[in-house]
Amino acid sequence: MTGQAIAVGGDRIALWTHPGEIAPHLRPGGWTSEAVSELFADAYANQLQEFRPTPLDLEAIGSI
């Protein structure tokens, strides 16, 4: 993983930027899928950003 975020939907791909880390977690030996799942359910549960569709997203799905 590079940490780069992209949005892909329909006929559009968008590159997102990040200001920096807010809550890094280290795990000696690396991460299992179960450990990542636990981290997001517990430590990151209240820190995740809500997805808010742009006007282009809404137009693509016919909502506007």
Six-digit token string for 26: 């280290």
Sorted by sequence, the CB contacts under 8 Å of residue 55 that are 6+ apart come out as 64
The helix or strand, by DSSP H or E, that contains position 12, with its residue range, turns out to be: strand 12-15
Report the C-alpha dihedral over residues 47, 19, 23, 30, rounded to 10 degrees.
120
CB atoms within 10 A of CB 44: 14
pLDDT tens-digit readout, 7-64:
787 778 887 776 667 777 888 999 999 998 888 788 777 766 666 677 777 777 776 5
Residue 1 confidence class, pLDDT cut points 50, 70, 90: low
- The ranges assigned to domains in the chain are 23-64
Q: Which residues pair with 14 in a beta bridge?
A: 7
